[in-house]
Structure 1
Amino acid sequence: MNAKVISIYAADTSGVCSALYELGGMTVVHDASGCNSTYATHDEPRWYDRKSMIYISALTEADAVMGNDSKFIRDVAKAAGELSPKFIAICGSPMPAMTGFDYSAAAEEIERETGLTTFFVDTNGTHSYLQGAEGAFLNIAKLFCREGKEKQANSVNIIGATPLDFSVNTSVSSIKKWLLDNGFSVQSCFAMDSSLDEISTAPQAAVSLVISSDGIAVAKYLFDTYGVPYVVGVPVGKSFSKKLSADLKRAVSEGVCINSCGEKAVENAHMIVAGESVFASSLGAELGAKTVATVGIRNSEVLSGTDIFCEEEAELEKLFSQHKTVIADPLFRPICKVASFVSLPHVAFSGRCFLKDIPDLIDKDVSKKLNL
């Protein structure tokens, strides 16, 4: 995002850490000492009440300049021997990307020394959290998902659940309850309140529900490899939730993939919703509002013909000025010269600043919740 006033989204490394946080593996970010606070305390609200094996390699200037890769490999292998993680994931920051660190070779060497499944996620700290989370989810699916028992009738994989998009409020548990109330069961959840063992059974699901842009790649993989169709959308509001439930049932019966949040009519053209592609488009569908995706998927896999993808601050300011009401993270407020600004905090954008103000909109009266 090109910006002078507003914030930027959490980096790809934070996405990796968030996606893998609860799965029992050891995540190592190749970066300078002290940078763990960025990935943990700033972007990861679970850090305060739940432990996870997330570490920094403590890369020094001498190590970077001299290419001391053996120290990284040795330290990771030693830590794994002491901690016994279920897997090892490594990812990178800008400095090792600049020096050409070979993550693939390092992962192979660590796996050979430890006997543990080891993979790398291609990050460099300059992309958004969604790219990192997508890579982490995809590696988990490819390495641990196996076709086993028969398909479980009306079972659903929830894909794309991280606190960066859904905070640590009741949203994810509300999605699970909504599924149960509509005759479905939860097969797995990538990757909140779900274990690695549960996620490994994802191929047995009848359908996947993609609730964030970082889940699209995994949903496609499960469809192409195991024939699990997917539906894209977040069950926000009463009306859109009903549509999403019907689309999930159609996907199960017909074996088709459906972009639910991309099928909408704009009735309230004066209103615009800004944010991550899937969530913003789903909320826009519920409200009959325009959507501007400021991060995430930018094409028809998620967005409708009336939706816009924009990550340039100057263009966003101009776009917002053309509408009476803007629904967005509070840190967008400085560039919103509009009659009505509706605050909807997004952890990946404003971090811990407004955690207590993030509402649970799942199957709720959105207008009442947002005081529209």
Structure 2
Amino acid sequence: MTIKPKQFPLLLSLMGTTLLLAGCNEEKKADVWQEIRQVKLFTVPSISQANTIVLPGEVHANIDTPLAFRVAGKVIQKKTVLGQTVKKGQLLAELDASDYLAGYQAASAQVSAANAERQQNSKDLARYKSLLDKGFISPAEYERRKTLLATSNAQLDQTIANAKTSQNQTSYTQLRAEQDGVISDWQLEVGQVISAGQVIGKLATTQETALWVNVPETRLQDFQSAKTYDVKINALGNARSAATLTELSPQADATTRTFAAKLKLPASLKAVAGMSGDVSVALSNSTSALQIPLTAVFNNGASGNGVWVYQPKKGNVHFVKVKVGKIEQDQIVIESGLQTGQQIIAAGANLIHEGQSVKPAEGI
């Protein structure tokens, strides 16, 4: 179709109108998108749930023993690998023992020499006793011979102790398992030269496991005074088992400000190191009302205190008036207005308006 010159103004006007409408639509879409706010949700618990704290943790061996040689040397054998199950007394690795064997041989020779000297002094003392009885030597000379025998006895004891030490050092070139377990860490290679006491791995017991948790300082008193500790291992289902608190650090971690705790797990649980789980602890100051985060409560003036309840079907929020009670640390008691299972905005309530579309945020 041919466009006549006089039609150009009309065509330009239509194009301008189309672009304007498109721009308005884009602006409207942008405005709608900006109104969808990501929020952190909190599910209103039952009263029994509200009276407990749940802390996440990780399963570790109850005894995780560092492995190290008691002497220095060069590794000539590596008899196990990471993750291998070993028995008590099993050889794990070995150092070159030639220097220690030479030292033991030298110490053994010193024992032989000291023993020969002691035997000679013992014979001399018997002979000098006979001479003393006949009056051929003075008592002072006899006492000197007794002292020589006592000295040779002491020297013999010393050389025997030195030989024993050398023998022990020779045996220390073999690293053996102190108990049944699993090699949970292993940093050793043949040819490596290590120093005495250098940690080259860890041996974890397989019979006993523990759940390690970090207790917030605000919950330390409740955790410490709890009568029962119910643990759940995620990989083993939802069943809970009773655990025993064995260790609780008296000092908070400098970075996280939490207190490390160890809970011994029952053997029947069959938990394996590395599994995740949690521990549930009943609060000592339990109340008969619900508790929600203090940051979830908002006062809008006209209606008073309330919370924003998330409506999943509509994808927006609705203001619900609540009756609040006392404040306990970072929680506030709700005496009425909420039902178990409702989802509420946990933080930033003052930035929300009635009917606003929201999107639950993961991981915050």
Query: Which structure features the higher share of strand residues?
Result: 2
TM-score by length of 2: 0.19
Larger of the two Rg values belongs to structure: 2
Q: Determine which structure has greater relative contact order: mean sequence separation of CA pairs < 8 Å that are 6+ residues apart, divided by chain length.
A: 2
